[in-house]
Structures are given as C-alpha cells and as structure tokens.
Amino acid sequence: MPDATRHDHQLDDDLSEVAGVIEDVSREVGRRMTRGRVLVVGLDPVRIPGWDPAPVVAAIARGQARFDDLGIAADLCLVAPDGDAEEAIVAALTRGDYACVVVGGGIRKHEPLLLLFEKVVNLVRQHAPDAAIAFNTSPEDTADAALRWLH
C-alpha cells in the first residue's frame, strides 16, 4: 500500500477515534446536566457546643468535592439543632429547584433530634414536592446518596 493511502487510512482511524471520544464526552455532559441540583441538609458542626468540629468540617468538604468531581451542583444548608433551623431550611428549599434533598445522619440518627428530622422531611415535601429525599451515612457519601435518586 502506498504511503499516502496508508496515511489516509490512519487519518480516518484517528478521526473515528476522536469522534467516538467526543460522542462519549457529549453523552456524559448531557447525563450530568439532566441530574439536577441537590440540597444537603445537615447539622452545622461549628454550631454544636462541646466538641471539636474540625473532623466533620473536613468530611463535609470532601463530600462537597465529590459532588464537584461528579459535575453535580450541590448546595449546603447546615443548621444548629436548636434555634432557627426550620426557617433556614425553608429558605434553602425555596432558593432553588432541587431534584434531590439529602438529609444528613446528624439530624436523622440522633434520637433527641427526631422532631427536627420529622420537620425536615415534611418541609421537603411541602417546599420541594418533586425532589427525591435521600439519606447519607456520612458526609463523605452524600453524593452517592443523591446519585441513587438522580436520573
């Protein structure tokens, strides 16, 4: 086969490969764009007295980075277990159109916060009725919890 013909075939192969990569990237961008926005509702570790919040703050940052890595827009609504939690949650829920709301384990697992947990679930139903509700096991798996419900 002459060199020019071999070069043309190689160029065709290279262009086909590039077209396949572009198609894959386009499909991934479209998939990410259809996932929708996520709201994460959890306890603010800085506003809980009597313990070192640094490990939880770091875990929340890693969890948010995971959303970024996945190309998912995610907002945080961190509240104190007392005070204005309900008002802050309503403000967050009405600030955007959320496809999923993830309720953190700090609110869900601590028995004295059962009433707050019930309020969160009912506020989501009232102010974001089309949003899926998901639950994480730690701040670091929050994106995975949301992914179970995002399309």
Contacts of 116 (CB under 8 A, 6+ apart): 81, 85, 107
Question: Which stretches of the chain drop beneath a pLDDT of 70?
Answer: 1-16, 18-34
Residue pLDDT, tens place only, 97-137: 999 999 998 999 989 999 999 999 999 999 999 999 999 99
Q: How far apart are CA 4 and CA 7, in angstroms?
A: 5
pLDDT at 82: 76
Domain 35-147, classified CATH 3.40.50.2300, yes or no: yes
